Amino acid sequence: MEHMKVDIMVAGGVAAGMSAASQAKRVNPQLHVVVFERGPYISYGACGMPYYLSGDIPDPMRLIALTPEEAHQKRGISVYTQHEVLDVDPDAHTALVRDLLSNREILVEWEKFILATGARAWTPPVKGMDLPGVFVLRTLSHALEFQQFLNSQRPRRAVILGGGPVGCEMAEALKKRGLDVVVVEFLEEIMNTIDADMGALVHEELRRNGVGVRTHRRVERVERTRDGLHVIIGEEVVNCDMILVATGVKPNTELLTKKGVAEGPAGSVDVDEYMCTSFEHVFACGDCADALDLVTGKKVYVPLGTTANKQGRVAGAVAAGVEVSFPGIVQTAAVKVFDLEVARTGLSERQAREAGFDVDTVQVRSRSRAGYYPGGTPVHVKLIYEKNTGKLLGGQVISREGAAKRVDVIAAVLYFGGTVKDLYNLDLSYAPPFAPVYDPLILAARRAYRWK
Check if the beta carbon of residue 395 is closer than 8 Å to that of residue 382.
yes
> In this structure, what are the phi and psi dihedrals at residue 284, rounded to the nearest 5 degrees?
-140, 150
128 vs 133: CA distance, rounded Å: 10
Choice among 47, 168, 276, 285 that is catalytic: 47
Annotated catalytic residue 276: no
**C-alpha closest to that of 127 among 267, 223, 11, 254:** 223
Neighbouring-strand partners of residue 250? 120
Q: How far is CA 402 from the centre of its chain?
A: 21
376 vs 85: CA distance, rounded Å: 52
239 vs 108: CA distance, rounded Å: 50
**C-alpha closest to that of 269 among 279, 282, 256, 281:** 256
Check if the beta carbon of residue 346 is closer than 8 Å to that of residue 393.
yes
Q: Could you list the active site residues?
A: 47
